[in-house]
Structure 1
Amino acid sequence: MPTDSRVVSRRTLPLLIAALALASALVVALGWQLHQARENQRWLAQRATQPYIGMYVPRIAMTSLDGASRTLGQPERDYQVLYFFTTGCPHCRASAPLVKAIAAQLDAASEGRAEMLGVALDPAAAAGAYAREHGFAFPVIATQDRRSAMLFRARNVPLLLVIGRDGRVRYARVGAINTKEGVNGVLTAVRRKEASAAGPTTKES
């Protein structure tokens, strides 16, 4: 006959196996939750620093280098294409030819429903010289107000944004514009029909 200890072992073995399986499942579940928490944290950090489709932008009144009043985030037509850059950025310099191509094709692609503005995060003199050097035919705004730039998530440049009349981003691209994909992305965004929207304007401080 089996001893009492053997009987106990046979009875407790399934319980031990079940306990180990449960512990393993808990470890896996906790690991997955930790992974999800890190992913959520990364997603929130990106939302706070990177532009994204559907993001609302403010309306900030500024003056372009030609002396005209402009409002970032408030299209005069259906769309406003904003190109953020700095004069010392090598990726911005490399992007200049295709940025000019976007500007040249914008009116035809949007059927006259889009405007383009350059936003140089530099002093006016440097921005003006840069615009002339690269043959920018669109208005350029020069500002050193980094707080305003960050409201458009212009933490990294070059940055292209397409903004609708409701103040929401329709297209966003961060980094060098050196492929046809970057050009086509903007032109595709401005081909869509837009409804009008109104809202307050914030003046640059």
Structure 2
Amino acid sequence: MDASALRKYGPLALIVVLAALMTTLAVQNRQLRQQQAVLVSKVEQISKAVHGLPEGARPEAFDATALDGQALTLAGPASGRQILYFFSPACRFCLASVPQIQALDAAGRNNGNRAFEMVGVSLPPHETAADYARQHGFDFPVVNDTDDRITQRYSATMVPMVVVIQDGKVIYRYVGQLKDSSVNAITGAFVVNAARSAMPPPPAG
């Protein structure tokens, strides 16, 4: 290319090269963001997996008294269907989950009959637990776990956490801020567990 052609087409060629470089960098940046999102998701899954009792665990029955004076028994072979909701009045993710908790409680009511027993377990700060439950319309018993005995028994090291129990066995656990889809997954755990129980045992040998 002679000098005149270089002067004529040089700037255009430079623009084309820069555009191609910017496109390549944009693609690489998007791929890095996608990889980072996948990595963050996996880290969150691993982190949540260490909180709470695993599915299949059978926590020992525990007698407790709710804020309204109601006597309760958590878990145990005679517990039937229970959903335990661990929360803290100071937790912003718990606050964001209030509509889903209200929907979850409503899902347990069927023409006046309870499809499951729902129980809230309040972690610190304990002095605001009663006001918090009343303010957010928790129409289910709430236990103020002031001695941390329930929290320790269920390894509730992260809130919000929902533990689904059937006949004394943990059949589902959800950790983190709830979404509308979480309500369906939590209530659906009873159906899934019933289907598993109805399956014939594998053939011997």
TM-score w.r.t. structure 2 length? 0.64
Residue ranges of structure 2 left out of the alignment (5+ in a row): 1-45, 198-205
Describe the shift of the 1:75–1:97 C-alpha distance in structure 2 as closer, same or farther (beyond 3 A). farther
Gap change, CA 1:105 and 1:49, over 3 Å in 2: closer
> Offset at 1:68?
1.1
Deviations 1:64-92 (A, max 9, x none): 01101111224866301000011101111
Counterpart in 2 of 1:189?
Answer: 189
Identity %: 34
What is the DSSP-based 3-state SS (H/G/I as helix, E as strand, rest coil) of the residue aligned with 2:83? strand
Matches within 5 A, 1:63-102: 63-74=65-76, 78-102=80-104
Tell me the distance in 2 between the aligned counterparts of 1:55 and 1:47: 14
Instruction: Provide, for residues 172-195 of structure 1, a one-character-per-residue CA deviation record: whole Å limited to 9, x for no partner.
Output: 001111x22210111112345599
Rounded Cα–Cα distance in structure 1 between residues aligned with 2:144 and 2:138: 14
- What's the offset of the Cα at 1:99? 0.4
Compute the TM-score of the two structures, normalised by the length of structure 1.
Answer: 0.64
Cα separation, partners in 2 of 1:49 and 1:160, compared to 1, 3 Å: closer
Contact kept, 8 Å, 2:86 with 2:162, in 1: the verdict is: yes
Q: CA deviation at 1:147?
A: 3.9
Q: Which residue number in structure 1 is paired with residue 176 of structure 2?
A: 175
Which whole-Å CA distance do the structure 1 matches of 2:59 and 2:74 have between them?
Answer: 9
Superposed, which structure 2 residues align to 1:90-169 within 5 Å?
Answer: 90-108=92-110, 112-122=114-124, 125-165=127-167, 167-169=168-170
Kindly indicate whether the alpha-carbon contact (under 8 Å) linking 2:87 and 2:94 is maintained by their aligned counterparts in 1.
yes
RMSD: 2.8
Q: Secondary structure at the match of 2:53?
A: coil
Task: Decide whether the 8 Å contact of 2:85 with 2:119 is kept in 1.
Answer: yes
Q: Show structure 1 runs of 5+ residues with no match.
A: 1-42, 196-205
Partner SS for 1:190:
helix
Q: Tell me the SS of whatever aligns to 1:171.
A: strand
Deviates more, 1:62-71 or 1:72-81: 72-81
CA shift for structure 1 position 146: 2.3
Amino acid at match of 1:181: S
Q: Which moved more, 1:137-146 or 1:185-194?
A: 185-194
Distance 2:164 2:120 in 1: 12
Runs of 4+ in 1 over 4 A off after TM superposition: 45-49, 192-195
Aligned CA distance change for structure 1 residues 184 and 49 (closer, same or farther; 3 Å)? closer
Supply the AA of the counterpart residue of 1:55. Answer: A
